[in-house]
Amino acid sequence: MANKQKTNYELFARKTIQNILEYFDTSHKGLTAEQADQMRERYGDNKISSGKKTPFILEVIKAYITPFTLVLISLGIISFFTEFVLPPKGDKDLFGVIIIFTMVIVSGTMTLIQSVKSSQAAEKLTSMVKVTSLVKRDGEYNEIPMEDIVCGDRVKLAAGDMIPADMRIISAKDLFISQSALTGESYPVEKRAEEVGNTRDSETSFENLVFMGSNVISGSAEGIVVSTGNATLFGNVAQALSDAPIQTNFEIGIHKTSILLIKFMALMAPTVIVINGLTKGDWMEAFLFGLSVAVGLTPEMLPMIVTTNLVKGATAMAKKGTIIKNLNSIQNFGAIDVLCTDKTGTLTQDKIILEYHLDCDGHEDQRVLRHAYLNSYYQTGLKNLMDVAIIESAKEELQTDRMTYEKIDEIPFDFERRRMSVVVQDQHHKTQMITKGAIEEMLEISSFVDLRGEVVALTEAVKQEILGKVRDLNEDGLRVLGVSQKTNPSVVGEFSVKDESEMVLIGYLAFLDPPKESTKQALEALHAHGVDVKVLTGDNALVTESVCKQVGLGAERLVSGEQIAQMDDETLQGVIERHNVFVKLNPQQKSRITKLLRENGHTVGFLGDGINDAPAMKVADVGISVDTAVDIAKESADVILLEKDLTVLERGIVTGRETFGNIMKYIKATASSNFGNMFSVIVASTFLPFLPMLPLQILFLNLIYDISCVSIPWDKMDREYLEEPKKWEASSIGKFMVWFGPTSSVFDITTYLLMYFLICPAVAGGSYHTLDAQQKIIFIAVFHAGWFVESLWSQTLVLHALRTPKLPFIQSHGSFIMTSITTLGIAVGTVLPFTAFGEDLGLMELPGTYWLWLALTIVAYLMLVTVVKKLYISRYQELL
Residue 40 φ/ψ, nearest 5 degrees:
-65, -40
Q: Which domain holds residue 360?
A: 353-512
From the list 780, 774, 759, 758, the residue with the least C-alpha distance to 846 is 759
Q: Could you tell me the CATH number of the domain that includes residue 389?
A: 3.40.1110.10
Are residues 500 and 428 located together in one domain of the fold?
A: yes
From the list 773, 770, 755, 776, the residue with the least C-alpha distance to 847 is 755
Of the two residues 775 and 132, the one the predictor is more confident about is 775
pLDDT digits (tens, 9 = 90+) for 652-707: 788 888 888 888 888 888 878 877 877 787 788 778 888 788 777 877 887 788 88
Amino acid 643: pLDDT: 72
In the predicted structure, residue 619 carries a pLDDT above the cut 70: yes
* Count: domains in the chain: 4
Lowest mean pLDDT among 89-103, 552-566, 588-602: 89-103
In the predicted structure, residue 4 carries a pLDDT above the cut 50: no
From the list 587, 581, 523, 584, the residue with the least C-alpha distance to 551 is 523
Amino acid 246: pLDDT: 45
Amino acid 823: pLDDT: 93
Lowest mean pLDDT among 78-87, 231-240, 359-368, 865-874: 231-240
Are residues 690 and 557 located together in one domain of the fold?
A: no
Query: Rounded to a whole number, what is the distance in angstroms from the first to the last CA of the chain?
Result: 56
| 75 part of a folded domain | no
In the predicted structure, residue 326 carries a pLDDT above the cut 70: no
Are residues 36 and 172 located together in one domain of the fold?
A: yes
Task: Answer with the one of 642, 662, 689 that is the final residue of a domain.
Answer: 642
Are residues 328 and 213 located together in one domain of the fold?
A: no
Task: Answer with the one of 612, 642, 672 that is the final residue of a domain.
Answer: 642
Task: Answer with the one of 457, 489, 512 that is the final residue of a domain.
Answer: 512
CA distances from 222 to 48, 295, 744 (A): 23, 64, 71
Lowest mean pLDDT among 276-290, 693-707, 792-806: 276-290
How many percent of the chain have pLDDT more than 90? 15
Of the two residues 852 and 122, the one the predictor is more confident about is 852
Of the two residues 380 and 860, the one the predictor is more confident about is 860
342 is catalytic: yes
Amino acid 593: pLDDT: 92
Are residues 426 and 542 located together in one domain of the fold?
A: no
| Residues 34-59, mean pLDDT to the nearest whole number | 77
Are residues 810 and 738 located together in one domain of the fold?
A: yes
Amino acid 244: pLDDT: 44
Q: Is 688 helix (H, G, I), strand (E, B) or coil?
A: coil
Of the two residues 127 and 746, the one the predictor is more confident about is 746
Are residues 150 and 199 located together in one domain of the fold?
A: yes
Work out the pLDDT band at 537, boundaries 50, 70, 90: confident
Q: Which of 270-279, 482-491, 644-653 has the highest average model confidence (pLDDT)?
A: 482-491
Distance, in Å, from the CA atom of 700 to the CA atom of 716, rounded to the nearest integer, reads 28
| Residues 187-207, mean pLDDT to the nearest whole number | 73
In the predicted structure, residue 214 carries a pLDDT above the cut 70: yes
In the predicted structure, residue 2 carries a pLDDT above the cut 50: no
* pTM value surpassing 0.75: no
Lowest mean pLDDT among 32-46, 173-187, 321-335, 738-752: 173-187
Residue 808 forms beta bridges with which residues?
812
Find all residues with CB under 8 Å of 875, minimum gap 6, and list them: none
Amino acid 243: pLDDT: 43
CA distances from 493 to 172, 173, 409, 423, 485 (A): 14, 12, 7, 10, 18
| Residues 248-267, mean pLDDT to the nearest whole number | 70
Amino acid 1: pLDDT: 42
Are residues 475 and 553 located together in one domain of the fold?
A: no
Residue 144 forms beta bridges with which residues?
133
Amino acid 80: pLDDT: 80
Are residues 169 and 298 located together in one domain of the fold?
A: no
Q: Could you tell me the CATH number of the domain that includes residue 261?
A: 1.20.1110.10
| 310 part of a folded domain | yes
Let me know how long the chain is.
880
- The rounded mean pLDDT for the chain is 81
Count the neighbouring beta carbons within 10 Å of the beta carbon of residue 734.
16
pLDDT digits (tens, 9 = 90+) for 509-518: 998 877 777 7
Work out the pLDDT band at 381, boundaries 50, 70, 90: low
Q: Checking DSSP bridges between strand 405-411 and strand 419-426, what pairing results, if any?
A: antiparallel
Catalytic residue among 153, 166, 342, 645: 342
Amino acid 115: pLDDT: 61
| 85 part of a folded domain | no
| Eight-state DSSP code of residue 515 | B
Residue 423 forms beta bridges with which residues?
409, 433
